[in-house]
Structure 1
Amino acid sequence: MRIALFATCLADTMFPQAAQATVSILERLGHEVVFPQGQACCGQMHANTGYFKQAASIVANHVKTFEPVLDGEWDAVVVPSGSCAGAARHEQRLVAEHVGDAALVKRVDALSKYTYDISEFLVDVLGLEDVGAYFPHTVTYHPTCHSMRVAHVGDRPYRLLRAVEGLTLIELPDEKVCCGFGGTFSIKNSDTSTAMVADKAANVMSTGAEVLCTGDYSCLMNIGGALSRVNSGVRVMHLAEILASTKEAPFEGHVSFQPSKDQVRL
């Protein structure tokens, strides 16, 4: 298959390793991955804060960039983010409706049918749970709010993690409770957000796991910051990073939750 990578603006500017790992997985499985150059933000941040008019032009750019999938140029659009996958399939339509652009609504609807979170694509489209990964560590998984409640990825990440050779998956207490990030929520309600992420970090540490895994680097950034500030020793990794790791080629893209100075745009 020929797959278009929707890297997300967070990956492109701060944490490229999730997108790099996604490419590694898909190419290892025998698929071709392309990176459409026109991609930018999906408009989620603007939509979440009520800036629908500003979001509309961003949504239009996203649709224009990935619309070739409708003509068969690619087979699917894959994104290493339940949050952005949910935005592309749900919030973009709300934006187009809000500004009264019926044509954009139709284009968003058509594109959304080809847009998948990486876990959905692997399990639902490729029919895989075991992708040949090897990761001999203890891991706990935090299901991010948007991945659960908007993208509805369900148990797919868990199924993929349980199939990883050498990996021991440990249940995270209160796993479905928000980490407190929520994009601009963490800025507008910083005290509440700080209390929420402190609880989440404490739950992560209570598992004794070596690694905290999620499907969204936004939440990894938030929880990873809290874990770092208390010197927990817990690493944070995106689901794709773990799935990209093999015995022959351990994935080395993971770094501190803070971007290194030498990281560059995809």
Structure 2
Amino acid sequence: MCEQTLDYLVSRGEIEKRDAAQVRWSHAVNSRSSLKEALTGPTHMLEADIIMRGHDPKEPIMAHPPETDSDITLKEWLEGVKVHDKGIKLDFKSLEAVPPSVALLQEVLAEPSCPVWINADVLPGPGGQATPLEPQAFLAAVGNLPCDTVLSLGWTTGWTAGTDNPGYSWSMVHEMEEICRSLKHPVTFPVRAALLNQSHSQLTWLLQQSDRYTLTVWTGQQDELTLQELLPYRKELDISRIYYDLPDFIRTELTKISSLV
């Protein structure tokens, strides 16, 4: 079973074909103003961060640590998205926020037609300093979401300029695959673009383990990357199975160059 995000976008005429590089992203849609801008803009997928409010009333809100408050709650955010046709990617920073957020998803988007992705870092990865969410607790909390909900399961990572940054190791991808092997949901693995060059064999192997699996390539604001590092993945793997959550100018140039090679 392959996930249905591309089929949804193709059926609506949003993208031309099942090419995941054509999908456009909005990031940190964590306020009323950014939500309004994203809903009226050209992007296909809205990414937002969820935490529990740091004071009463305790409820899921749209914010990224170290923020502790927001001008929009998850419920208000979902109600705003509901009347549009954008896909959503909800990024969880704590386990505390997951159960009440899943309940809101099931309440507000009882019969979602748009793509719904649920993201969390659940394993330590190359250079990662943050503490990942405990994988089994996270998966138990989201397990009753509809079968076409995409679970975006990643590793904590770090990247430092001017040093030899390690890639995703064999033990990292083996542990992730073991966690995901029995899941009923489609899974995408968010992977850091600056670490792709040194992780080609490992990530290719991971994709080969199930047709439920995809990659979502992302980049940090300070990361250095070149199109040449992305091209092997674009050329050698199914273009429907690698999303590029990258700045538009990089994503567009990648599709142009790879079509000429």
The TM-score range, normalised by the shorter chain, is: 0.3 to 0.5
Relative contact order (C-alpha < 8 Å, sep 6+): which is higher? 1
Higher helix proportion, which one? 1
* TM-score w.r.t. length of structure 1: 0.35
Higher strand proportion, which one? 2
* TM-score w.r.t. length of structure 2: 0.35
